[in-house]
Structure 1
Amino acid sequence: MDALETYDWSRLVHAYGEATDTPDHLRRLVRDDDAAWEDAIVHLHTAVTHQGSVYPATAPVAIVVAGLLQEPGFDRPISYSWREPQPVRAHLLDFLATVAEGTEPDRSESELWSIYHNPRQRDPDEPCDIETPAWAYDAVMGCRSIAPALVDPVLRCLSDDDPRTRAAATSAAAALCLVPTVSSRRAEIVAVVEDRARDAATFHERVEALETLDCFGGVSRSFLFDRHPGIQLVAAFSSSLAHDPDSSSAVWDAVTDPERAAVWYSDSRALPATIGWPNHLLHQAVGRVANFADLLPTAVVVAATPLHPTTYKDLEVLLERAFPEAFSSGDSLNNEQRIFLRVLLDNSSLWESVPPRASRELDVSLALVGLPPDHPSLSVIVSS
């Protein structure tokens, strides 16, 4: 808290003007008071940072927040606005992640200088760009300069007792890893996150760590052979392994097993959180499977499943693979197409007492591949 006294807050600004109110908000953080914590955290997320932007007051505040992360009371969960309850420490880590992201790490220093100091480089259709204040460049560079000092406080939170805090620390570490001034620590951060992806206590944490590694383009092939099939799939979905033959095998093994496919629709926990609904997995599969016949066993399971929140999206993916070229009058169905459509027609939950909006989704999906959207006309084609 001594750092508060080293700044002239009247010469610093946040999203709403002079930052003279900011020290009081920060002092509220050291009270054992939920309302005071909530008030301070809201100030961090709406004034000290705002919609991804940073301000001259942001860097000094980030230094103070990083120094307070280990306060004993910060393991107590609180909620504000629409956010889910999580420990105060996790909320503060989210703020530090926003600070790191606000440094615009994908731009070089010269690009930032050009954008913020040369009006001709700004987008004339964006009046906010034209009105960018003179301090904007300095605010970004100020946050870049203090980013290395945030790394160790954030990494210490990776061993926190609360999984929500560990997840927030992983996200903050990932954001810091991309800041150019933290480049000397990047390999160390990646190694720490990879250890979490291997050894974290819960599957959800392992998935989050893997997704973070993918942001660095650093998912190791070894995860394709992990003890957990869900982790194998998450690794297979990573951009860095998208073209790896073993990655395709992991997706292939998951999507061509009819019994496993049936479980997707009865138990949402059967798929990793990062994959979510079956259509995400099906999208991955159809991009890696040349022959619809190989997908037919799973396609039949999907077509026969009682109406499910993602059924129409799943069917759309499979219809596009079954009909790589649109069906037209006079065409004949091949055997796999006929089997798939016959099961689809027999699934009464897709045709009877279906809400209009959902019905339109199936109509559009069928029309996109040249098939009639009504049951009688489609039955004629399948029976011919």
Structure 2
Amino acid sequence: MQTGPDVLRDTDWTRTFHAYGSGADAPDHLAPLLTGDPGGSERALGYLYSAILHQGTVYSATVPAALFVAGILDRPALAAPATTPFTASGESAPLRQLLLGFLASAAEGALHCPAPGDQAPPEPPSEADLDRVYAALNAPDAAEDAEIWEDPVMDALMYRVGPDMRAAAPVLYEAVHPHLTHPDPVTRMHAVEAATAAARLGGFDPDLSGAADMAESRDEGAVIVLAVGQAGRDTAEFLAHADPAIRACAALAPSQAGNPAATDELAAALADPAAADAWFGRRPAYFPGHVRFTLARALAERAAPDDAERLLPVLRAMVPLSSTYVGAQDVGPLLRVAFPAAGEAGACRDLTAVQRAYLSALLDNDALWEGRIANFRVHLKGLGLPGDRVGISALAGV
């Protein structure tokens, strides 16, 4: 399977598509990554993160684009810094790190495609249908032709993306693997994330031993423990680690979902959610936002309604950090534990003392109720609760 410049040259990009239409524009957008032109490289990054991988969705053009990127990772010019609004905080970082991040995100996106056996594949389109669809995608006014995206042929082409990405996964992994021992620790972290995602996509176990041997910080250790968990391995040994961040990362592993000690570790980490949010200098990609968001979601997923009283101190610790912008992400999962009968008739009658205590805690933070942003209010209504402070106060009996 070709990688690098050969892909850019030999792929019939007119027979691919991305979020905005035909992939025929890919060579012009991606070629600057070969020349070292700073402005062109940043535009190429923007193209990769917006068109080729749009909000986590992969397309037929994503496959050759990922193979192209995989084949240029060892180029010295990729040590140059670049900035793109599609990465965390829009901060400047070496091109190599940003491209490793793209490969990790592309593999993660492909993991959401139907796996073999998940569903019956659509009827393969005829060559005539393919010619018709690609002609429409390559037409000058294709961007304005919404009907082409509704064509059943497009469904069949989108279905192919998953198998094609899975077929490319071993090649992507082999390209990323040497960077697990890169001299720069942040590059190693990006490589661990990309290698793990490619291995999960390909259905094989990644060898992270080189990165583990070189790990020299909490950030690196956390990324490796998270990767071990994502690979399906047992992380129980790390639950006894001296570092609370490492223990929490071990507790997040799917293998620990039924382990009460792991659940207790998540609750312990959220006893001081501000400290958890400040754990990392370079936050692992596993945490797409504040660390407390992921910890709270995992804790709530493993909790039963009977755990609501035990988790009340966690909610009270979270509320001061919350706001109407993020309430659904941090306190929202815990509210769902306390109010499991969302949507059922009479769900908000005859509340227990614990449920009233949950609601009372929400009233202590003005930021949960200020402004016009309705995120948190919508979440409350989804639980069958009033969406306003007055209604919550009345229900809580305060």
So what's the TM-score if we normalise by structure 1?
A: 0.65
CA RMSD of aligned residues (A): 5.3
By how many angstroms is 1:74 displaced?
A: 1.0
How far does the alpha carbon of each residue in 1:1-31 deviate from its partner, in whole angstroms, 9 at most, with x for none? 9985799748553436585972x66654343
Q: Does the alignment pair 1:223 with 2:245?
A: no
**Alpha-carbon distance in structure 1 between the residues aligned to 2:379 and 2:51:** 47
Q: Does the alignment pair 1:374 with 2:378?
A: no
Structure 1 counterpart of 2:93? 86
Structure 1 counterpart of 2:58? 52
1:100-249 correspondence runs (5 A): 100=107, 106-108=114-116, 114-117=122-125, 127-131=150-154, 147-180=169-202, 186-187=204-205, 189=206, 191-192=207-208, 196=211, 200-249=215-264
Structure 2 counterpart of 1:69? 73
Secondary structure (helix, strand or coil) at the match of 2:258 reads: coil
Unaligned runs of 5+ in 1: 120-124, 256-260
Q: Which residue of the other structure, out of 31, 38, 42, is the alignment partner of 2:42?
A: 38
By how many angstroms is 1:92 displaced?
A: 3.0
Q: Which has the higher helix share?
A: 1
How far does the alpha carbon of each residue in 1:355-377 deviate from its partner, in whole angstroms, 9 at most, with x for none? 46579839947994689953897
Q: Does the alignment pair 1:250 with 2:258?
A: no
Q: Equivalent pairs: percent with the same residue?
A: 22
* Contact 1:277–1:310 (8 Å) recurs in 2: no
Q: Which residue of the other structure, out of 269, 278, 284, is the alignment partner of 2:278?
A: 269
By how many angstroms is 1:233 displaced?
A: 1.7
**Alpha-carbon distance in structure 2 between the residues aligned to 1:58 and 1:170:** 20
Larger Rg: 1
How far does the alpha carbon of each residue in 1:268-307 deviate from its partner, in whole angstroms, 9 at most, with x for none? 416987383646545554553635443454555556x487
By how many angstroms is 1:113 displaced?
A: 6.6
**Alpha-carbon distance in structure 2 between the residues aligned to 1:249 and 1:80:** 39
**Alpha-carbon distance in structure 1 between the residues aligned to 2:73 and 2:323:** 44
* Contact 2:324–2:375 (8 Å) recurs in 1: no
* Contact 1:76–1:87 (8 Å) recurs in 2: yes
Task: Return the letter of the residue paired with 1:224.
Answer: L
Secondary structure (helix, strand or coil) at the match of 1:54 reads: coil
Secondary structure (helix, strand or coil) at the match of 1:166 reads: helix
Task: Return the letter of the residue paired with 2:79.
Answer: D
Structure 2 counterpart of 1:122? none
**Alpha-carbon distance in structure 2 between the residues aligned to 1:359 and 1:173:** 35
By how many angstroms is 1:156 displaced?
A: 0.9
* Contact 2:377–2:388 (8 Å) recurs in 1: no
Shift in alpha-carbon separation, 1:80–1:224, aligned structure 2, 3 A: same
* Contact 1:279–1:310 (8 Å) recurs in 2: no
